[in-house]
Amino acid sequence: MFSTRFIWRTVGLAALLSTLICIFGFVYAVNQIIYPKPAVSTETQAPAETEKPDSPPMADKDKINIVALGDSLTAGTGDLTGRGYVGQTKEMLADRLGKPVYVLNNFAIPGYRTTDLLKDMDANKGIGTAVSEADIVLLTIGANDLFQGGQDIFSGESDEGFNPGAGVGRMPAAMQRLEQIIDRLHQYNPNAIICYVGLYHPFLDIDTKRDGGPIIQQWNSEAFQLANRYSHVIVVPTYDLFELNLSRYLYTDHFHPNQDGYARIAERIAQIVH
């Protein structure tokens, strides 16, 4: 009898305790729902980052140094003021950035092809030295490889024998040399912004079948793929700048830009690097 009475008391007491615990848990849960407390974390939380305003790449520099190299476009052939796109880019950046902009050197030579520029980079150590001090490198090269300054754009049979495909066979080797040029410039100065000025179609008005456009666009596309391998190499598109009102922006030689044409190129470069 004693053992049975003890067991029932124990069971009763346990049941009572269980009931009390359930009631307490229920009341606590209801209280948390009605009056929730903020969660407290024991971990130290970093302050939220404030969004920084966009700033131009050159904003933290006291002055901007430009080095230019390439062919007649970088030399400014066709601009009677002698500034070309290099000089006009310098002026635009100085005005927009409000700081001094200098052209340390312009190594461009009219008529140069990729082979000529590579030879210069081997022979003239001053190119590497100048590029190492540059913030911006401006480059045009490749048009003479494809079209030989316009001489190879015709078949030779007549002035109307337009033959834009004449340079297609030279494109692969020329593109390989362009890769070598850009790679060397990047090695000279991996922090400089290298602006490769893409090709435009100077013979668009006599290219009635539009055969030249895809060829030039192929070159520009491959140049873009090449530039995309580097963080500071940019292809500056120019094809659209001359696509309409071609005669308005070309020099009388029907190949090089005039002052207004170079201004359009300079404006685009300034928009990109500013």
Summarised one tens digit per residue, pLDDT across range 149-191 is 555 555 544 445 567 777 788 899 999 999 999 999 999 999 9
Cα–Cα nearest to 195, from 229, 233, 226? 233
CB 257 within 8 A of CB 78: yes
Provide the percentage of residues in the chain whose pLDDT is more than 90.
62
Average pLDDT over residues 50-58: 46
pLDDT attached to residue 58? 77
Cα–Cα nearest to 183, from 126, 229, 134, 218? 229
Based on the number of CB atoms within 10 Å of its own CB, is 227 exposed (0-12), middle (13-18) or buried (19 or more)? buried
Residue 94 clears pLDDT 50, i.e. is over it: yes
* Token code pair at residue 12: 């009763």
Q: Is residue 183 part of a domain?
A: yes
Q: Is residue 213 part of a domain?
A: yes
Which tops the pLDDT comparison, 239 or 12?
A: 239
CATH number of the CATH domain containing 84? 3.40.50.1110
Q: Coil, strand, or helix at residue 140? A: strand
pLDDT attached to residue 26? 46
pLDDT attached to residue 48? 35
pTM for the full predicted model: 0.76
Q: Is residue 19 part of a domain?
A: no
Q: Is residue 266 part of a domain?
A: yes
CB 146 within 8 A of CB 209: no
Residue 129 clears pLDDT 90, i.e. is over it: yes
Q: How confident is the model at residue 36 (pLDDT cuts 50, 70, 90)?
A: very low
CB 153 within 8 A of CB 211: no
Q: Is residue 261 part of a domain?
A: yes
Q: Coil, strand, or helix at residue 208? A: coil
Among 24-38, 84-98, 226-240, which stretch is predicted with the lowest mean pLDDT? Answer: 24-38
Q: Is residue 206 part of a domain?
A: yes
pLDDT attached to residue 56? 45
Q: Total structural domains in the chain?
A: 1
Which tops the pLDDT comparison, 133 or 3?
A: 133
Q: Mean pLDDT score of the chain, rounded to an integer? A: 82
> Domain span at residue 207?
65-273
CB 58 within 8 A of CB 244: no
Q: Is residue 34 part of a domain?
A: no
- In 37-178, the DSSP E strands lie at 64-70, 101-106, 136-140
pLDDT attached to residue 274? 81
Residue 139 clears pLDDT 90, i.e. is over it: yes
Q: Is residue 25 part of a domain?
A: no
pLDDT attached to residue 49? 35
Phi-psi region of 111 (alpha: psi -120 to 50; beta: other; left: phi over 0): left
Q: Across the chain, how many H-helices and E-strands are there?
A: 11, 5
Antiparallel, parallel or unpaired: β 233-236 and 193-197: parallel
Query: Which residue do the tokens 């030249």 mark?
Result: 212
Residue 65 clears pLDDT 50, i.e. is over it: yes
Residue 44 clears pLDDT 50, i.e. is over it: no
